[in-house]
Amino acid sequence: MDLNLTESELQFRGELRAWLKESLPKEPIVSMGRSDADYWNKLRDWQNSLYEGGWAGITWPKEFGGRGTTPIEAAIFIEEMAAFDAPERVGVIGEGLVGPTIMAEGNDEQKEYFLPKILDGSHIWCQGFSEPNSGSDVASLATKAVREGDDFVVNGQKIWTSFAAVSDWCLLLVRTDKDAPKHKGISALLVDMKSEGVSVRPLKQMSGDSAFNEMFFTNVKVPAKNLIGALNDGWRITITMLMNERTNLGPATYIQFKKALAELIETMKHKSSGGKRLIDDPINRQKIAQIQMELEIFKLTSNRALSKITNNAVPGPEGSILKIFWSELNQRLVQAAMEILGDEAQLQEFENGAWAYRYLRSRGNTVEAGTSEIQRNIVAMRVLGLPRSY
């Protein structure tokens, strides 16, 4: 694994940096809540700016409107977007998960209609996987779809769905054969979120945020032409999507954690306890050193996964190692911050509640995108080759 950027990769990074300096919104795009319509309209505009500038769907093949970039260039893009504090991308699920699925499994009509609208921000997507009794064990899902004429009729519930409250479309996993083994009876549908019978309710988290939602489907008619891939072949599609999701989080997450650690160190330089700066306390310095070492280990582990994708084209179950590492590293980082900064850090008045929010939000890291327990089972069986435990 060569960690040095090639001449073309350096050129790519320079071009991106120049574009970001010129094109980033002059004023920060601030949300007044997840249902803030103005906020989401501005994010759609930002997605369209990326599209017009040639920076949307950069990993997509050129024939579908992308740049056909390498995995390393894609990682550079993610890192630079995070480094420049660029606004969040409403197309992230569409670009990273739905679009590639449609390209690989969809028919010509689906590709022609959906792909351009993902890139330019016309369509925001969510993914309907988890259910109240089917979280990390996606294959146990119960939301069902029954074929009636030219439609599937969908009934069921999904939960922990990002972007659902503002999404135009949903890639929905449904059970289409109740008699088949649980992995064999699943299909994937492209569902218009404005369909009659679809309702969305935000979920208030202990952090105060409502980024996740629950969705209810009551006799929702979905045209049969919106089946993606073959009937009852949804599990294979799901595995590919989840491996991409778990692997692609590394570059941006590293930058975000590095910034958080830098903020903590800067605060420690100016905050005192017992007449001594926090940064001068040897125990505090030891905690910071530990997080710094783990952060660099995370970067190297992320680069290893990136190297494998570069050589093999598709991510493998090693993505689960990354998921375990970043989710638990973030919890250790914010735990150390709260211990170092003291009780004051729990207050909303302390740095606008940033550390209190980070601490509370981090508790969900080891649950979302597959629990740590499930990820360790994947590593044990598919990476280490250990037998399944019953």
Residue 239 sits at φ, ψ, to 5 deg, of: -60, -45
What element of type H or E holds 200?
Answer: strand 198-203
Kindly name the residue from 80, 105, 245, 318 that is annotated as catalytic: 245
Reduced to 3 states (helix: H, G, I; strand: E, B; else coil), residue 371 is: coil
Q: Is 245 a catalytic residue?
A: yes
Q: Which residue has the tokens 């605060």?
A: 267
Q: Which residues contact 280 (CB under 8 A, 6 or more apart)?
A: none
Return the closest-CA partner of residue 240 out of 309, 292, 140: 309
| Alpha helices in the chain, H assignment, sequence order | 7-23, 37-52, 71-83, 92-93, 99-105, 108-119, 234-247, 250-270, 282-312, 319-341, 354-362, 372-378
C-alpha distance from residue 318 to each of 129, 178, 242, 258, 305 (Å): 21, 32, 12, 23, 7
Return the closest-CA partner of residue 334 out of 364, 307, 314, 355: 355
Half-sphere exposure of 56 (CA within 13 A, CB side): 29
CA 159 to CA 217: how far, in whole Å? 12
Q: 223: which 2 tokens?
A: 């045209």
Q: Which residue has the tokens 């549908």?
A: 189
CB 334 within 8 A of CB 346: no
Q: Which residue has the tokens 């570069």?
A: 310
- 114: exposed, middle or buried (Cβ count in 10 Å: 0-12, 13-18, 19+): buried
Label the pairing between strands 227-228 and 169-175. Answer: unpaired
Catalytic residue numbers? Answer: 245
